[in-house]
Structure 1
């Protein structure tokens, strides 16, 4: 590895800050201005400056910025949600991935003819086409392929939709019978040595009753506020866990079979179980095709896992094209 080229990569990351406003409340308000059902209902905090780190063979070889600053991480949260789902699956709480969710979740959310056939696999691949209103947000609030389009049969159409992701989180809460942040902490974050500074938020509207108690169902992103607030060093530990097929030391924290399922393309070739894939190098041309990504807010929050070179990178507050160039520079350093 070339230390000079690695320094060049770090310099690039530090000098290419996103144009996204520091005031993320203003960013979210402006981004969805004029659209219905876009009220912000979860916590939001201003973002930090560019920061990140690179691991090779499990060791830090580069670090820049304040990697212990806790920031919103937007849709990177989805990859954590999918990992909690893997824990639930490993405990037998989901049954077969191709079973209807409604077989185990009986809260009315899967009673309609449209929703009844939805499986766990379709839920995590974002092909569920779930229809309804959750926590005051109808699924039309995030129908990115057309607000008024006719819904397709579950499993036949892919759409990135935060209402449906939040439905997935609620379904996992129902079968886990405990708050998902509690599961994440006990089963994943504590065993990998993560800090105690992260927090996973829901909405002011997402409180539900569970076994007689009022519990907040968490969100799978920061579209309307909330989601996972976490620092880059904790992201790096999480990325390293996934790069090791869910194993940490002598403990298998997430079933390796789940990791394989989660990183297998769906009907959307660049998407697995809430993890982004680099099929045909379509997502990041500079990264190997085998790469796996957790991405949030137009890639301004990125965890990149490169099994070909045994790399894990965390990048915060660079835009997508600049993340691709950072990857190119890192691989140039690694190849020397």
Structure 2
């Protein structure tokens, strides 16, 4: 009878511990969901954008043990007189300007600093494009017109059944996906909640079934296309995107701080917008592209891919901006002028002719206003014209 009592006590203790562990797990899940719901609140947004790892599942991208690559200071340049007002109006958190590969202007605002790992949002898409070009060059993706289902069979029967790798690069898949960040019921925000609750992004993509046009016919910006691109890269490269990005981009760049990706519950990178990098390291990536993929004497991204991916090739129409392979081009783009862009005012502006790279990070609630977008471009061009 005494041994039965001990056995029963152990069972009860195990149940209590299991219940406590389950409770802690639920508390963590609820905390992440609350973080999503308050992510863009005016009194929290700046701090949140520098501390995404405090609220979400994430994984560091190994920078290796190599030295930090040089990003030398140049002679400080006089900026446009309206810059201070611009930075205030845009709720900017940092602005860095490179001319000739040297820092000629650098400022941090609203309590942020050079060591902050700032959320990229959709600037991350341009990083994934670079990784795609590297895998293509290595023969791991021999044909951009191959169906994505050749690499990701679980997408068979869904919205991506007939889409090619080029279609997802161009965002011309015709997949129906609501990208309205201001509508809490939109697909993009449903996806955010799945991320917060530790769900599976791959399942979310595979479950999409609706299309609005055949692949390749119409351009529409849908971020889930970039996640599908990430699925293809994982299959082709045989590693998670986090590891591929470390091997082929982050280590060769010699970044100052190891960046990180937000991840879903299975550890899959939120590759369409979950990259967190310092402002100076965004500038390193931009300068590498300006130099046609070369950095510190090494060819990181193939030069022909740099040209191909930053040339307008998507079937945009009317007053839409030009779009390449996960890079934006102004409607009136100057020669070799292109951008990575993210919501709330994240920009990586590259003007090869002027030899200028500009990084802007912000918490700008007016980021969707076309007048604001145009004003941002005009300021970048004003700066570039000084060189």
TM-score, length-scaled by structure 1: 0.73
Are the equivalent residues in 1 in contact too, given 2:261–2:271 (CA < 8 A)?
Answer: no
Question: Is 1:63 the equivalent of 2:116?
Answer: no
**Aligned twin of 1:291:** 337
Counterparts of 2:205 and 2:253, CA distance in 1: 37
Q: Tell me how far 1:289 sits from its aligned partner.
A: 5.1
Q: Tell me how far 1:106 sits from its aligned partner.
A: 4.2
**Aligned twin of 1:137:** 204
Describe the superposition over 1:88-141 as per-residue Cα deviations: whole angstroms up to 9, x where unpaired: 1111111111222333x14321x2386343221111111123579954536898
Counterparts of 2:174 and 2:288, CA distance in 1: 31
**Aligned twin of 1:284:** none
**Aligned twin of 1:267:** 315
Counterparts of 1:115 and 1:228, CA distance in 2: 24
Q: Tell me how far 1:192 sits from its aligned partner.
A: 1.6
Relative distance call for 1:149 and 1:168 in structure 2 (3 A) is closer
Are the equivalent residues in 1 in contact too, given 2:80–2:382 (CA < 8 A)?
Answer: no
Counterpart secondary structure, 2:275:
strand
How many aligned positions are there?
Answer: 275
Q: Paired residue for 1:219, among 270, 280, 293?
A: 270
Task: Look at both structures and tell me which one has the larger radius of gyration over its CA atoms.
Answer: 2
**Aligned twin of 1:308:** 353
**Aligned twin of 1:160:** 221
Q: Paired residue for 1:236, among 283, 288, 296?
A: 283
Counterparts of 2:227 and 2:120, CA distance in 1: 16
Gaps of 5+ in 2: 1-73, 178-199, 368-372
Compare the two structures and name the one with the higher helix fraction: 2
Counterpart secondary structure, 1:108:
helix
Counterpart secondary structure, 1:63:
strand
**Aligned twin of 1:195:** 256
**Aligned twin of 2:60:** none
**Aligned twin of 1:118:** 163
Counterpart secondary structure, 1:314:
strand
**Aligned twin of 1:16:** 89
Counterparts of 2:339 and 2:374, CA distance in 1: 14
**Aligned twin of 2:301:** 254
Counterparts of 1:9 and 1:250, CA distance in 2: 38
Q: Tell me how far 1:5 sits from its aligned partner.
A: 3.7
Relative distance call for 1:246 and 1:275 in structure 2 (3 A) is same
Gaps of 5+ in 1: 19-48, 142-147, 208-215, 282-287
Q: Tell me how far 1:220 sits from its aligned partner.
A: 3.2
Q: Tell me how far 1:166 sits from its aligned partner.
A: 1.1
Counterpart secondary structure, 1:305:
strand
Are the equivalent residues in 1 in contact too, given 2:286–2:357 (CA < 8 A)?
Answer: yes
Describe the superposition over 1:243-285 as per-residue Cα deviations: whole angstroms up to 9, x where unpaired: 111111321111112112201212126100000012424xxxx
Are the equivalent residues in 1 in contact too, given 2:119–2:275 (CA < 8 A)?
Answer: yes
**Aligned twin of 2:29:** none
Counterparts of 1:75 and 1:113, CA distance in 2: 24
Counterparts of 2:355 and 2:217, CA distance in 1: 34
Relative distance call for 1:139 and 1:277 in structure 2 (3 A) is farther
Relative distance call for 1:306 and 1:139 in structure 2 (3 A) is farther
**Aligned twin of 2:234:** 173
Relative distance call for 1:139 and 1:50 in structure 2 (3 A) is farther
Relative distance call for 1:159 and 1:135 in structure 2 (3 A) is same
**Aligned twin of 2:154:** 108
What is the alpha-carbon root mean square deviation over aligned residues? 2.9
Compare the two structures and name the one with the higher strand fraction: 1
TM alignment of 1:51-90, pairs within 5 A: 51-65=94-108, 66-90=113-137
TM-score, length-scaled by structure 2: 0.64
Counterparts of 1:136 and 1:116, CA distance in 2: 14
Are the equivalent residues in 2 in contact too, given 1:173–1:217 (CA < 8 A)?
Answer: no
